[in-house]
């Protein structure tokens, strides 16, 4: 599958297709069972044209399992969902069960992860706020064994149907995609930026949008931890822009005759060199 959008906005990396499958691709990049890893690494690999995949035992981290649609994996977090609520907020050193769990997992965690487990990532103010965060997530259990990431131009449209398309964009390209997402619509709110993990903004949020009567695009990589990992893999100043397949096709159909062919956008391209 080719993308007119990718050509028009001059993406550095090809769009990435997210697919569901009951069959693993041949020799994908994949985490080992039980090993920690960030899902964003898998997506970055696909942007470099290296097909990657994960299943219910190789999604890398609990947030990644949630993000890709393998149910509520926070229940399987060390110490359960309650310890996760403390981990994402004020830390597990503040309550007895958390302290006991920290002692049990210390030898299995990297120093940085253990420090976050004890003192908290502080991304949300209180454990109660994290409970609400989980409550509002569109947690999904997908009807497939694998989530597969591959560059869009390697997708065979005859036998492969992406769930969504992921763009890695700089600020100018993100701006163009926001304009294009609204270009043919009758209202002005066709892009959302939810508070969520990087993987959740390319997984379960677009899954939710795919079911909606009016689909919206999802901007991601506001997740600070994910930004660290992506910077190491793909470089600086990137955001994700993810659209369900039907919306992607709509936007592709609007490239010709749009602002992307006019002088303002062309001047931005020239300024970028």
Question: Given this model, what pLDDT does residue 223 score?
Answer: 96
Residue with tokens 């599958």: 1
Segment 42-65 shows an average pLDDT of 96
Rounded Cα distance between 142 and 146, Å, is: 9
Contact 142, 70 (CB under 8 A): yes
Residue 179: CB atoms within 10 A of its CB come to 14
Domain ranges of the chain: 4-25+155-272, 72-136
Dihedral angle, C-alpha 11, 13, 14, 16, nearest 10 °: -120
Residue with tokens 């890398």: 60
Portion of the chain with pLDDT greater than 90, in percent: 93
Span 104-136, pLDDT tens digits: 999 888 888 899 999 999 999 999 999 999 999
Span 172-181, pLDDT tens digits: 999 999 999 9
For residue 34, what pLDDT band results from cuts at 50, 70 and 90? Answer: confident
Q: Pick from 5, 3, 31: which is nearest to 155 by CA?
A: 3
Q: Pick from 85, 190, 102, 177: which is nearest to 137 by CA?
A: 85
Residue 168: CB atoms within 10 A of its CB come to 24
Q: Which residues contact 72 (CB under 8 A, 6 or more apart)?
A: 66, 81, 134, 139
Rounded Cα distance between 132 and 163, Å, is: 27
For residue 29, what pLDDT band results from cuts at 50, 70 and 90? Answer: very high
Q: Pick from 247, 240, 246, 187: which is nearest to 218 by CA?
A: 240
Contact 238, 221 (CB under 8 A): yes
Distance of CA 103 to the CA centre of its chain: 32
Span 239-272, pLDDT tens digits: 999 999 999 999 999 999 999 999 999 999 999 8
Rounded Cα distance between 165 and 149, Å, is: 10
Rounded Cα distance between 46 and 159, Å, is: 19
Residue with tokens 């391209």: 269
* Mean of the per-residue pLDDT values of the chain: 96
């Amino acid at each position: 599958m080719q993308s007119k959008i990718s050509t028009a906005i001059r993406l550095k990396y090809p769009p990435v297709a997210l697919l569901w499958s009951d069959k693993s691709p041949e020799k994908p990049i994949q985490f080992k069972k039980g090993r920690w890893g960030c899902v964003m690494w898998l997506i970055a690999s696909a942007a470099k044209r290296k097909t990657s995949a994960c299943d219910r035992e190789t999604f890398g981290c609990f947030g990644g399992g949630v993000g890709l649609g393998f149910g509520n994996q926070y229940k399987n977090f060390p110490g359960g969902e309650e310890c996760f609520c403390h981990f994402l907020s004020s830390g597990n050193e503040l309550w007895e069960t958390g302290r006991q769990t920290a002692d049990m997992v210390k030898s299995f965690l990297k120093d940085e992860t253990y420090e976050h487990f004890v003192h908290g990532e502080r991304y949300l103010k209180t454990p109660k706020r994290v409970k609400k965060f989980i409550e509002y997530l569109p947690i999904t259990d997908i009807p497939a064994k694998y989530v597969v990431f591959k560059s869009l131009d390697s997708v065979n449209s005859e036998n492969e149907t992406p769930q969504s398309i992921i763009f890695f964009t700089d600020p100018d390209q993100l701006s163009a995609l926001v304009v294009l997402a609204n270009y043919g619509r009758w209202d002005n709110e066709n892009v959302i930026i939810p508070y969520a993990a990087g993987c959740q903004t390319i997984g379960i949020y677009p899954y939710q949008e795919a079911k909606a009567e009016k689909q919206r695009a999802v901007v991601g990589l506001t997740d600070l931890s994910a930004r660290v990992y992506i910077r190491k893999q793909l470089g600086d100043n990137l955001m994700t822009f993810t659209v369900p397949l039907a919306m992607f096709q709509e936007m592709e159909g609007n490239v010709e005759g749009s602002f992307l062919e006019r002088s303002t956008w062309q001047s931005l391209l020239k300024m970028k060199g």
